[in-house]
Amino acid sequence: MSEMDGMRDDCIVLTRFARDQPGFLDFSYRIKALAKAYRVTVVSSEPLTEPELLADGVEYLVLPHDSGRKGWFKYMLACARLVRMRRPACVVLLHSLLAPVVWLTGRIPTALYWNEHPSRFTAAPPSHPLFKRMARKLALRWLFFEAARRASLVMPIGEAHQQDLLAKGCDPQRVKLIYMGVDKTFMKSGPHQSAQPQLPLRLIYVGTVSKARGRDLMLEAIKLANREQPIAHLTLVGADEEEIGHCRRYAGRLGISNAVEVCGRVAGAEIPVILKGADAGLCLWEDQPWWRFNPPTKLFEYLVAGLPVLASDIRTHTQYVSHGNNGLIFKYDSFSLGKAIHQLAKRRHELPGLKSRARESGRQYLWDRIEPVFLQAIKSLHVARQGGHSSFEDPMHLHDQTSSEIR
């Protein structure tokens, strides 16, 4: 241990990643930022092998547990035992799924990264018996929102999450809106070349490829847009083997195989280069209750990279994409998306302006701007416990930003 390490406070970061986790960059930014200021221990239920999550000087500790609800509870109990044994200066719960750990950390300052709406974890099909649905609602309230109210700090990733937490009774002084962030390499990927009039538009989708995220809808829209002549080419990045097979088969049945490329998952460092070759990015979500709160990482990455966003009409898109300014909004159906693609092709001469406005609207999401706000908020937790002055105020006033300021 170096002399500098010996002077740093300890911070334990608890994680819980799904086995089909699509991306890790927002988690990576936070782990690496904490490593600059603390002796960090990152805890996971499985070994972390993703290069984005590996940082020099960080201790990685695995507390193996099974998947499923039982494994989740056991993992949280094991994490709580570790925290109570080590008694760090602060704990960072790096997923809203870990909110119940707040009940178990005692007086140790605990910050909660509120990245997903917990209704996604507790949703029950209407066919379930009434008592089961009631039990899930109680779990949503007590395991998650009551825990959020008890946390020393809750960090929602978007305005909808922030408003929901306040409506659920969280103390405004403990709720700090901190966007997920985008690395500056997305902006440094260089200016995009304007699409040539005789070439198809280059559309890209990066993220989980699934039916619920508009997989078939995107393919059908390409079919409709290219009905008279080829005006658009779509690249899907992030599909697993099963989805790759489905997309290729479906594209074949639609007769658009030459207009679609389907790729598997890639490391986060590769995404800026991939985006550089595109003219616009796609964001599609079914209007599910939990997705009305979760802005997608890719939306901000598109904007920072200077890509206009074609986004379905759900508030976690329209909060950040202004129709005709830095993207286009469409209804969640293949016809409306096809129409939006056709509209963008007709306005090809406006692409440079759309890209410039997209890049400008994305500047506030750069992690370089957000990192000091994040670190100051974490530091304030244990400084307050040690008797020092604590405040969430910062010169950027990041938590006061509204959608009107970024449109």
pLDDT in tens, 26-43: 999 999 999 999 999 999
Q: What is the pTM of this model?
A: 0.88
43 and 119, same domain (yes or no): yes
Q: Phi, psi at residue 263, to the nearest 5°?
A: -120, 155
pLDDT at 119: 86
Angle (CA) 257-258-259 rounded to 5° is: 90
Ordered DSSP codes for 297-354: HHHHHHHHTT--EEEESSHHHHTT--BTTTEEEE-SSHHHHHHHHHHHHHTGGGHHHH
Same domain, 89 and 196: no
Evaluate whether residue 403 is within a structural domain: no
Number of domains in the chain: 2
Least confident of 76-85, 360-369, 374-383: 374-383
State the pLDDT at residue 309: 98
Does 391 reside within a domain? Answer: no
Mean pLDDT (the chain, rounded):
88
222 and 354 fall within a common domain: yes
* 297 lies in the same domain as 351: yes
Rounded to an integer, what is the distance from CA 356 to the centroid of its chain?
23
Q: How far apart are CA 282 and CA 299, in angstroms?
A: 8
Residues 256 and 327 in one domain: yes
pLDDT tier at 404 (50, 70, 90 boundaries)? very low
Determine, yes or no, domain membership for 294.
yes
| 92 and 208 belong to one structural domain | no
Same domain, 177 and 189: no
Same domain, 177 and 124: yes
Q: 3-class DSSP state for residue 376? A: helix
CATH classification of the domain holding 209: 3.40.50.2000
Q: Are residues 42 and 189 in the same domain?
A: no
pLDDT at 392 over 70: no
In a domain, 279, yes or no: yes
Give 330 or 123, the one with higher predicted confidence.
330
| Domain shared by 146 and 249, yes or no | no
Please report whether residue 2 resides in a domain.
no
Q: Is residue 99 part of a domain?
A: yes
Q: Give the range of the structural domain holding residue 144, as residue numbers without chain letter.
A: 10-181+368-386
* Residues 221, 287 share a domain: yes
Indicate whether 395 belongs to any domain: no
| Mean pLDDT along residues 107-128 | 81
- pLDDT band at residue 111, thresholds of 50, 70 and 90? very high
Return the pLDDT at 331. Answer: 97
398 in a domain, yes or no? no
164 and 259 fall within a common domain: no
pLDDT greater at residue 124 or residue 17 = 17
